[in-house]
Structure 1
Amino acid sequence: MSKYDWDQVPFEDILADSKDGEWGIGEEAGSHTACWMIRGTDFAGINDPSTELPLRWIPDHLMERKRLQPGDVVFEMAGGTAKQSTGRSALVSHAFFESRKEHPVLCASFCRHLRLKPEYHSSFIYYLLQTLYRAGYMGVFNIQHTGVSRFQYTAFKKKTVLTIPKEPVQKKIAAILTAYDDLIEVNQRRIAALETMAEELYREWFVRLRFPGHAKVKLVKGVPEGWERGSVSCYTSYLRRGVAPVYDDNGDGLAINQKCIRGGKLNLKEARKQSRDASEDRYVRVGDVLVNSTGEGTLGRVAQVLSPINRAIVDSHVTIVRPKDEVPVHYFGMTLRGWEPHLSIMGQGSTNQTELSPSIIGRLSMLMPPQKLSERFEEIVSPIFKQSELLRLENDSLRQTRDLLLPRLISGKLRVEAMDIQFPPGMAEP
């Protein structure tokens, strides 16, 4: 079957049903049902059972008409940014509903759901929509209205024609891409489990103070005997804000900004290339703790650098907190991450320009356990964090490979008709 055997199908012809979203009310009421709601901001973690979806109460008659089913595609209608147009999509899989049995699930008011006719495989259509989005096609239908980015769905539906193979080929293409996404999800769950282990050990030893031998150690004013308390600055070799980068798409350096620090993690997708030379101590190192230091909303977010980054600096809105060589690096980083809620409210200045200065961070008091105990902790958690970082790197590689295959498979340039493909668990039927 050649690419020329694929069908040209108007977008509206693939739909069995499509309805806009709801938002309901935030508390119980008569003739209303509690429902999980999927927003555009939930798309990235939709297949992660730990992702917390908002719970809203929806009128019963609307819930029955609009509740989602396995295989539905949720389509974003509003809420894009300057760098991210509307028109993103998410596939609601069987596995998703297995972990969300407590309440019905609907899409939120800035989304709509797409339910496909049976001859169109939902995973294939989802990946086809991903290809269109990444190619910039969805941006054509993105408009600004009263300060909000909105997607012109009616125009998109009327003007879009899709090139689609017969269902057996749809399933093979979807199977290849789903296999990558399934591996990524498995790794994400392993990462979460590893980090939970490390965090639980930290809390047990250093928050609940049930460390090995604790029963024989006296507490003096709530502090175990032999432990010391000092300011953060006592335990750091470098505590400074970053510098203004020289942004340059051809530069060989990288500038880390506040968007890179979220959820206790460092994500370099939002980092930008830059060409400014900097002194050696301004380049981030493994073990550095990065703290967002400007503005409401992002102030006080914390992430630790756990793997080498070549020629990376932080911009002037981020503070580097670098532990001394003798300080237990993971203990130091986990302690500062635990302070994130407090750091977020410690800024000074006007509402629009709140600043968290290095001096404020440096004056904070930190409890430091004895060397033998901290070394034992590092011996246990270092392999955990190393394995977690390896899994993240593996996921980066899987995403890159998947994203290279995606347009070639969806366009028909990479032929799959003769392939004997084992369908992955992510495509299992109920």
Structure 2
Amino acid sequence: MSEWPTVRFEEILSSPLRNGVSYPSKMRGQGVPMVNMREIFAYDIIRDQECELVPLKERELENFLLAQGDLLFARQSLTYEGAGRCVLVAASEGPRTWESHLIRARISRELADPRFIYYYFRSANGRRNIETIINQVAAAGIRSSDLKELQVPVPPLSEQEDISALLGALDDKIAVNERIATTSRELGLALFAQAVAEDGAMEVDIDSVSCALTRGIAPKYSESPDDLVVLNQKCIRGGRVSLTPARRTLRDKVKEPKLLVRNDVLVNSTGVGTLGRVACWNYDEAATVDSHITIVRFDETQLDPVCAGFAMLRAQPEIEAMGEGSTGQTELRRTQLGELEIFLPSKEKQHELRPKLDSLEARADQALSESQTLATLRDTLLSQLMSGRLRVKDAEKIVEDAT
């Protein structure tokens, strides 16, 4: 086990912990990008994601701008992840601030390596430490007064830097792969848009060109790895499906139309903030979805399903606006989705475009698959390095052998 000394978190800060800025919605839309809870729970490292803009006041510029190496902690929990989640702020092309539901920690680089402290709070030990200060009286949350008192490990600075460099190299490679996937999808959408703009484009409603349009199942969850994968709305993000948040369900009563087929389009159909997100199912694994997701299966005798999937990705803003109901209970009815009109290139153009889209998607899938492998390796090494069970030189050999 590690014999690293520990200190109070406050002792390695270069300035006091600080909550972010608060602006009414009516004042937003111009000014400085503001990192909020959405980014905190969607990303591990805050880079140059698109953020809501706020008109930061002149007197706030000195104290409320983020810097590379800052840590941000979520003061409150969301339904799918707890309070105290920690993310790292990377270098940015311009100024950014953070919202009042987040706590900023600025590490003194003479005392600790910011990336090492970030990885500590991502580790199992760091998370358990955070959990000791979560206040469960009302909405789960943490306070700056409690966060600053946490004991954190401080090995020699050189060792901190070696550990963060090793883990950071894996994260940097993951980020490169994510950019490859994003660029591939953007190129595919650009090719699709160009083809639609040419003569002979088709306008069709989804119901008339689909052979299945159905909500998923009410799962009977199982812990057995032999049971059927069931996706939930957390699995659909950024136009793609992630199996990481998926669970398992008993498969005996899942009817055939609700078993996913390659090139099915999945649409989140419940709740503000999640409703309308679209993804294409590109796996060959047996799976289904829960009742909060709608499956759209296109009739291949009428159109190319990959092209139709891109048409729905382009229509996502329109789909997001189709929800009905009160806040938090918004629903997208199957019949509503069926009435949605999408635009596709002519059948000849679809046939010509399909191989190009397949090639770009395959490139993205390969990059994301490699990222998943690297993330698993990183998390395994993270736990062992932070506990002191593994030294950097041994971890470097493991990474070399694996990559």
TM range (shorter): 0.7 to 0.9
Residue in 2 that maps onto 1:138: 130
Distance apart, 1:267 and its partner CA: 2.6
Distance apart, 1:398 and its partner CA: 0.9
Tell me which amino acid in the other structure corresponds to 1:52.
E
Residue in 2 that maps onto 1:405: 381
Count residues in correspondence.
390
Tell me which amino acid in the other structure corresponds to 1:405.
L
Residue 112 of structure 1 aligns to a residue whose secondary structure is strand
CA distance in 2, matches of 1:87, 1:379: 45
- Runs of at least 5 residues in structure 2 that lack an aligned partner in the other structure: 398-403
CA distance in 1, matches of 2:208, 2:382: 51
Cα RMSD between the aligned structures?
3.0
1:170 aligns with 2:160: yes
Do the aligned partners of residues 73 and 28 (structure 1) sit closer, same or farther apart at CA in structure 2, a change above 3 Å counting? same
Give % identity: 28
Residue in 2 that maps onto 1:12: 10
Residue in 1 that maps onto 2:335: 359
Residue 355 of structure 2 aligns to a residue whose secondary structure is helix
* 1:86 corresponds to which of 83, 102, 105: 83
Residue in 1 that maps onto 2:290: 315
Contact 1:85 1:138 in 2 (8 A): no
Do the aligned partners of residues 377 and 16 (structure 1) sit closer, same or farther apart at CA in structure 2, a change above 3 Å counting? same
CA distance in 2, matches of 1:321, 1:420: 46
Residue 299 of structure 1 aligns to a residue whose secondary structure is coil
Do the aligned partners of residues 348 and 120 (structure 1) sit closer, same or farther apart at CA in structure 2, a change above 3 Å counting? closer
CA distance in 2, matches of 1:19, 1:135: 19
Contact 1:73 1:91 in 2 (8 A): yes
Tell me which amino acid in the other structure corresponds to 2:389.
K
Residue in 1 that maps onto 2:364: 388
Residue in 2 that maps onto 1:74: 72
Residue in 2 that maps onto 1:150: 141
Residue in 2 that maps onto 1:111: 102
Contact 1:72 1:122 in 2 (8 A): yes
CA distance in 1, matches of 2:37, 2:250: 35
* 2:113 corresponds to which of 121, 137, 160: 121
Do the aligned partners of residues 89 and 354 (structure 1) sit closer, same or farther apart at CA in structure 2, a change above 3 Å counting? closer
Do the aligned partners of residues 38 and 16 (structure 1) sit closer, same or farther apart at CA in structure 2, a change above 3 Å counting? same
Do the aligned partners of residues 302 and 165 (structure 1) sit closer, same or farther apart at CA in structure 2, a change above 3 Å counting? same
Do the aligned partners of residues 235 and 113 (structure 1) sit closer, same or farther apart at CA in structure 2, a change above 3 Å counting? same
Tell me which amino acid in the other structure corresponds to 1:259.
K
Instruction: Pick the structure with greater CA Rg.
Output: 1
Residue 273 of structure 1 aligns to a residue whose secondary structure is strand
Which stretch shows the higher mean deviation, 182-191 or 255-264? 255-264
CA distance in 2, matches of 1:129, 1:204: 46
Residue in 1 that maps onto 2:224: 250
Distance apart, 1:389 and its partner CA: 1.0
- Runs of at least 5 residues in structure 1 that lack an aligned partner in the other structure: 215-223, 422-430
CA distance in 2, matches of 1:27, 1:349: 21
Distance apart, 1:406 and its partner CA: 0.2
1:268-287 equivalences in 2 (<5 Å): 268-277=243-252, 278-287=254-263
* 1:374 corresponds to which of 339, 350, 360: 350
Distance apart, 1:148 and its partner CA: 3.3
CA distance in 2, matches of 1:243, 1:286: 18
CA distance in 1, matches of 2:80, 2:52: 25
Q: TM-score, normalised by structure 1?
A: 0.81
CA distance in 1, matches of 2:382, 2:184: 30
Do the aligned partners of residues 292 and 53 (structure 1) sit closer, same or farther apart at CA in structure 2, a change above 3 Å counting? closer
Residue 136 of structure 1 aligns to a residue whose secondary structure is helix
Residue in 1 that maps onto 2:180: 190
Residue in 2 that maps onto 1:221: none
